[in-house]
Amino acid sequence: MPKIWSFGSINADHAYRVPHIPAPGETIAAREYSLGLGGKGTNQSVAAAKAGATVAHIGLIGPEGLWAKQRLAALGVDTQHINQSETPTGHAIITVDETGENAITIFPGANRAFTDAQLEVLTSVTAPGDLLILQNETNLQAEAARIAVKQGLIVFYSAAPFSAEATRDVLPHISILLLNEIEAAQLKAAVGALPSGITVVVTKGSDGADWITPDQTLHCPAFPVKPVDTTGAGDTFAGYLAAAIAEGQAPEAAMRLASAAAALKVTLKGTADAIPSRAEVEAFLARV
């Protein structure tokens, strides 16, 4: 099976459970606090590994970030291409309200300190047909995508957090583009329309997700669940979808698996550590 390479962020997630998301100027007391492993790149790596794929993460941590590398390894991700830098590890401040909705502030830290040297792995140990998954929480995404295409890799790109400039730079090199509804609207406003000639996957929360190609549009309904924490649900979907594609699953089956994994994730508190295993997702599918 093709290997998945994840060039992406590694964060320390500081999560606070609050009665409601604070309004501007408002101070409220958190009911719970936890420190966990996160970052879009990390979450997607863990999700793909939990789905059964062979996953290697290309990342940067700060001097204090060795724990994150160790935790990623414990969760089944190949961490030999994660290096330490002098820049502090990225972190996120996450507030989660009683309905499971969240608001997130990110400090990029080491995630924006990549140099070309970290991309050399894409030319030295990857194989044609492998997948590269990218997100917008690092620098050098377009450079990584460009190298990957030359090496014969499939490039899977989540345009989040959305940046019109970053997305424009990456689009010429990708095979699969993943957006949520808001990001899809932002991309349309920036460039006039969703790109043609590639596969575009648009997630719509409780309204399901669409797989759009030049030839067809497939809709996958969402699984009804009671949300506890929506943090990381999109990344869980992305990682599971990438793993299913690496397995050679048809779009319908791949979308159903990814949707089930995301639905199960929102019933659990946390980010990377709360992403469900393939066995848990398959048991969930058997129940529903």
Q: Would you please indicate which residues are annotated as catalytic (active-site) residues? A: 235
Amino acid letter at 34? Answer: S
Token couple for 278:
């393939």
Q: Which residue has the tokens 């992305």?
A: 238
Ranges of H-type helices in 40-197: 40-50, 66-74, 121-124, 141-150, 164-170, 181-191
Helix (H, G, I), strand (E, B) or coil at 284: helix
Q: Are 1 and 13 in contact (CB under 8 A)?
A: no
DSSP state of 238: H
**Residue 117, number of CB atoms within 10 A of its CB:** 8
**Residue 175, number of CB atoms within 10 A of its CB:** 18
Identify which of 91, 101, 92, 93 has the alpha carbon closest to the alpha carbon of residue 21: 101
183: left (phi over 0), alpha (psi -120 to 50) or beta: alpha
